[in-house]
Structure 1
Amino acid sequence: MTNSSPLKVALVTGAGSGIGRAVAQVMMEDGYSVVLAGRRPEPLNELVEIATAAGQNALAVPTDVRDPASVDALFATIEEVYGRLDVAFNNAGINAPAIPIDELPVEQWLNLINTNVTGVYLCARGAFGLMRKQSPQGGRIINNGSISAHTPRPFTAPYTASKHAVLGLTKSLALDGREYNIACSQIDIGNALTELSVRMTKGVRQANGQIAVEPMVDVKHVADAVRYIAGLPLSANVLNMTVMATNMPFVGRG
């Protein structure tokens, strides 16, 4: 990004690995100054070093999206350093063991909901507030949903419930953001190959109880989809996009 280019600032949560890391890298390639948020500082700092060596701009801000004070500190840092935010990619999320609901400890349910729902809410809240008051006003919030925002897998009630909640939040923000030139999108991802999903290449429980190996898709296609949404003018929006392995069991699942 040259000095004559307008400042473009993006936030990526869960930026230390997987989808978040891939998205952060393409956003930096596109000239954004990228704020890298995540609980583990080491991979964030490693990504900053890679960006710096490539002449790109990145800032690591270790953040626990479950903690309101930590998220407030994140957005205070963004405002202090850059004065604005153009794109927020709410990516941080976790899963729970695929076991019957009565066997799942309540503590794991609460941790998942606090991360996948409250964490997205807190970061969307911070982004919305900054985008609303900055000049020029507006920006784009992109939430990482899931195929599970529409259809569950067996024994995934906590995760499925959390992603249905994200879908409702996305639609509400898309509506409430109109007055302030804030667009909100959701990208629903199916079987992107990351460190966390590699286990699926060995077999996944299906609706009929069988275990089957499912096709996966390169995470770069997800990053390119986020890049496309982020590059749209604020007068245009992709409300929902599904990026999935073509032959995975979603259409016709069950």
Structure 2
Amino acid sequence: MPEVMPKEMPEKTALITGAGSGMGLETARLLARDGLAVALLGRRPEPLEAAAEAIRAEGGTALALAADITRTEDVDRALDRVRTEFGPVDILVNSAGSASSVLNPRWLPHEEWREVLDVNLTAVFQLTQAVLPDMLDRATGTIVTVSSLAAVHPNLLGGAAYGAAKAGVRNFMTFLHTTFRDQGLRAITVLPGEADTPILDRRARPPAPEERAAMLRPEDVAEAIRLAVTLPQRVVLQEIVVAPTRPRDTSGDLEISRWAGAPEDTRPRI
């Protein structure tokens, strides 16, 4: 019988957070089709395992890792597993996101504020800190973070905590770019506009299906991420704005968002 050759392992490894749904899932699918080994990181094991199985069914290499990215010990444990299975991380994609249900800082509970900053900002710092030594030692690496146009145009649609967190992470990525680019690190910020992802379900008024139809799709943002990470290492797309061609009227949503979480006696009489 002919000798069975072992399957050749991918040359590069990508670690993707929020990979159980939305932009993270679509990014994982695209990068796996390009031949990268993808490590899928998220809180819920079921969708991660389903995504990994689907990628493997297409001939890709995938590893599902259930972890809370706001916990340092979870991040360290996940990175140890990735290094054991695939080697050092070449590409980190910070796609996980969280938004508060209360948008107005007048009513925003402190716990919701902390939760949004932990997921959107602190977790990005912790994951970056975990992968940075390997990247700098090898003088190559790419870190992509999905921020938001709420970082540039903050308002009640995303809310006070979300806008602040996304602005903070954009600043942090710019810091990485200016500090480590001469050591071979690419730091890339993606700023999407309104996208039809599960996070919209937490809005004070979740958009109707016909409104979502004109929004970005998760795969649109994933394609932008794919472009940024698959270009030659000599090229960095420092910031990428991905927005719907046709903006929608959000004035009604803004007014509803203003009063989400407000005590009944403070709400305007209609």
Q: Same fold (TM over 0.5)?
A: yes
Q: Is the 8 A contact 2:16 2:95 kept in 1?
A: yes
Measured in 2, the distance between the counterparts of 1:114 and 1:90 equals 13
State the Cα distance separating 1:218 from its structure 2 match: 2.1
Which structure is higher in strand share?
A: 1
State the Cα distance separating 1:98 from its structure 2 match: 4.2
Q: Is the 8 A contact 1:10 1:32 kept in 2?
A: yes
Check if 1:201 corresponds to 2:207: yes
State the Cα distance separating 1:187 from its structure 2 match: 0.4
Q: Is the 8 A contact 1:98 1:154 kept in 2?
A: no
1:133 aligned partner: 137
Q: TM-score, normalized by length of structure 1?
A: 0.87
Measured in 2, the distance between the counterparts of 1:232 and 1:154 equals 36
State the Cα distance separating 1:79 from its structure 2 match: 1.8
State the Cα distance separating 1:30 from its structure 2 match: 0.7
**Amino acid across the alignment from 1:168:** N
Select which of 149, 152, 159 maps to 1:150: 152
Q: Is the 8 A contact 1:51 1:57 kept in 2?
A: yes
2:189 aligned partner: 186
State the Cα distance separating 1:169 from its structure 2 match: 0.5
User: RMSD over aligned Cα, in angstroms?
Assistant: 2.3
Relative to structure 1, is the Cα distance of residues 195 and 40 closer, same or farther in structure 2, using a 3 angstrom cutoff? same
Q: How many residues align?
A: 240
Relative to structure 1, is the Cα distance of residues 139 and 130 closer, same or farther in structure 2, using a 3 angstrom cutoff? same
Measured in 2, the distance between the counterparts of 1:249 and 1:53 equals 39
Q: 1:132-170, CA deviations, whole angstroms, 9 ceiling, x for partnerless residues?
A: 234xx3110000000111011226111111011011111
Relative to structure 1, is the Cα distance of residues 249 and 128 closer, same or farther in structure 2, using a 3 angstrom cutoff? farther
Q: Which range moves more in the overlay, 190-199 or 221-230? A: 190-199
State the Cα distance separating 1:202 from its structure 2 match: 2.7
Q: Is the 8 A contact 2:13 2:87 kept in 1?
A: no
1:240 aligned partner: 239
- For the residue of structure 2 that corresponds to 1:192, the secondary structure is coil
- The within-5 A match list for 1:2-21 is 7-21=11-25
Q: Which range moves more in the overlay, 110-119 or 193-202? A: 193-202
State the Cα distance separating 1:243 from its structure 2 match: 0.7
Q: TM-score, normalized by length of structure 2?
A: 0.82
State the Cα distance separating 1:103 from its structure 2 match: 1.2
Q: Is the 8 A contact 1:13 1:89 kept in 2?
A: yes
Measured in 2, the distance between the counterparts of 1:57 and 1:47 equals 11
Q: Which runs of 5+ in 1 are unaligned?
A: 204-212
State the Cα distance separating 1:249 from its structure 2 match: 5.6
